[in-house]
Amino acid sequence: DRLPALLQRMPKAELHIHIEGSLEPELIFALAQRNGLTLAYPSVEALRAAYAFTDLQSFLDIYYAGASVLLHEQDFFDMAWAYFQKAAADHVVHAELFFDPQTHTERGVDIGVVIRGLHRACQQAQAELGVSASLILCFLRHLSEEAAFDTLEAALPYRELFIGVGLDSSEVGHPPEKFARVFAKCRALGLHVVAHAGEEGPPAYIHAALDVLQVERIDHGVRSVEDPALMQRLAANRVPLTVCPLSNVKLCVYRTMADHQLPALLSAGLCAMVNSDDPAYFGGYMNDNFLATFDGLPQLGAREAWQLAANSFEASFVPAAQKAVWQ
C-alpha cells in the first residue's frame, strides 16, 4: 500500500497548531528543572498517564499547567524549534502557529519574551529547515473582552511579528459575540482573523464567527455537519475549516475515528484540511494525524490526500504567488 508514503511525503501546510500544545512531557520536565520549578507530577510517565481527557475543559486544565514551565525567551524558542523539527520531518513546508499570550502574561511573563522567542524559532525554521512560518495571537475566550483588548495593546509593539489573531480555550458559554469589538479593531489593524468554532459549540457559533467576527477561517468547525444551510454557505464561500482529527477523538467529540465527519465535509466541497492542534497531548504530529485519519476512514484515498494538501495551501495566509508554487 503506497498511501502511507504519499501521506508522509506530500508537501503540506499546518494551520491549526497551538505551539504550547507541542510541549512534550520530556521538555516540560527539562524546562521545570532549568527554571527551578517543581511540578505536580513526579515523573514524565506520571504526567503522560494524566493525558486521558473526557472533553475540552479536562484537556485545557492540564495544558495550561504544562505551559507554566515557560518563563524565558529561550524556553519559547526551544519549544517552537522542537515543533519545527517534527513538522519538517512530516513534510510540512508552511506552518501558522497559534500562541496564547495570556497564559504567560497572567504568570508575569512579558509578552515580548513570548513573541521574540517564538519569532526567532520561525526565522531559524525558514533558514535551516526551509519551513516558512508565521504567528497568530490567540485570545483566551474564557477571559473578558477587556483582557483581550489589553493583550492586543501589549502586543502592538510587535505588530510586524504576527500576522493575525484567533480565539481559543473553553468554547461553550463564550460565544463569538463576546469578542465583536476587539476583532473589529484587529481587522482595522490589517490583521488576519480566525476563531475556534463548532468544536464543542453549536453551529450557531460558526455563523456568529462569520457574521460578527468576520473570520477568514473556522478552526475545527466539525459541528457544521448538523446544519445543512451552514454547510452550503461554507462550501459556496470556500471558508476553510482547520480540522484536527486526533484532537476530536481524544476530546471525545467523536467516539472513534470511524465516526469522524471529515469525509462528509470533503464530499460537500468544503475547504477542509488536516492539522494536529496539540500534538504532544493528542497522540501525534501531522503524519500521525494523516495516518490515523486514513486508517480509520478507509473511504479516504489518494484523491482525498491530494485534496487535503491542496486545501491546506489554499487556506493559508501566504501571498498568492507562493501558493501557486506549492499548489
Cα gap 321→134, rounded to integer Å: 17
Q: Considering only residues 165-184, where is the footprint of ligand HPA by CB under 6 A? A: 168-169
Considering only CA atoms, give the Rg of the chain. 18
User: Residue 24 or residue 278: which is nearer to ligand HPA going by CB?
Assistant: 278
Please pick, from the candidates 56, 243, 253, 272, the single residue that binds ligand HPA as defined by CB under 6 A: 56
Among ligand HPA, Zn ion, none, residue 21 binds (CB under 5-8 Å by kind): ligand HPA
Q: Tell me which of ligand HPA, Zn ion, none is bound by residue 199, counting a contact when its beta carbon lies within the kind-specific cut-off of 5 to 8 angstroms.
A: ligand HPA
Q: Does 200 bind Zn ion (CB under 5 A)?
A: no
Is 72 annotated in a binding site? The answer is no
Contact 164, 136 (CB under 8 A): yes
Residue in the block written with cell 501571498: 319
Q: Among 73, 75, 90, 278, which residue sits at the site for ligand HPA (rule: CB under 6 A)?
A: 278
Examine residue 96 and tell whether it contacts Zn ion (CB under 5 A): no
Q: Is 196 annotated as a binding-site member?
A: yes
**How many residues contact Zn ion, by CB under 5 A?**
1
- Closest approach, Cβ 250 to Zn ion, in A, equals 12
Helix (H) or strand (E) holding 235: helix 228-236
Does 119 appear as a known binding residue? Answer: no
The grid coordinates listed for 310 are 491542496
Cβ-proximal residue to ligand HPA, closest one: 168
178 binds, among Zn ion, ligand HPA, none (CB under 5 to 8 A by kind): none
Give the HSE-up count for residue 253: Cα atoms under 13 Å, Cβ half-sphere.
Answer: 29
Query: What single letter denotes the amino acid at residue 254?
Result: Y
Residue 56, contacted partner among ligand HPA, Zn ion, none, CB below 5-8 A by kind: ligand HPA
How many Å apart are CA 101 and CA 109, to the nearest integer?
9
Count Cα neighbours of 237 within 13 Å in the Cβ-side half-sphere: 17
Q: Does 21 bind ligand HPA (CB under 6 A)?
A: yes
| Whole-number Å distance between alpha carbons of 146 and 137 | 16
* Partner residues linked to 139 by β-bridges: 167
Q: By CB under 6 A, name the one of 277, 285, 289, 300 that touches ligand HPA.
A: 277
Closest listed residue to residue 138, CA positions, set 96, 110, 109, 201: 96
Least distance (Å) between residue 289 CB and Zn ion: 13
* Active site (annotated) includes residue 14: no
CA 273 – CA 262 distance, rounded (Å): 9
Antiparallel, parallel or unpaired: β 164-168 and 241-243: unpaired
**Sites for Zn ion among residues 246-305 (CB under 5 A):** 277
Q: Which of 117, 60, 39 is nearest to 277 (CA)?
A: 60
Given candidates 102, 224, 247, 276, which one binds ligand HPA under the rule CB under 6 A? 247
- Is 16 annotated as contributing to ligand binding? yes
Which residues are bridge partners to 165 per DSSP?
A: 137, 193
Rounded to the nearest 5 percent, the helix, strand and coil shares of the chain are 55, 15, 30
User: Does 245 participate in binding ligand HPA (rule CB under 6 A)?
Assistant: no
Catalytic one of 20, 24, 73, 199: 199
18 near ligand HPA (CB under 6 A): yes
Q: Under rule CB under 6 A, which residues in 140-159 are in contact with ligand HPA? A: none
Residue 86, Cα to own-chain centre: how many angstroms? 15
Task: Give yes or no for residue 196 binding ligand HPA (CB under 6 A).
Answer: yes
Catalytic residues: 199
Enumerate binding residues for ligand HPA (CB under 6 A): 18, 21, 56, 63, 168-169, 196, 199, 247, 277-278
Enumerate binding residues for Zn ion (CB under 5 A): 277
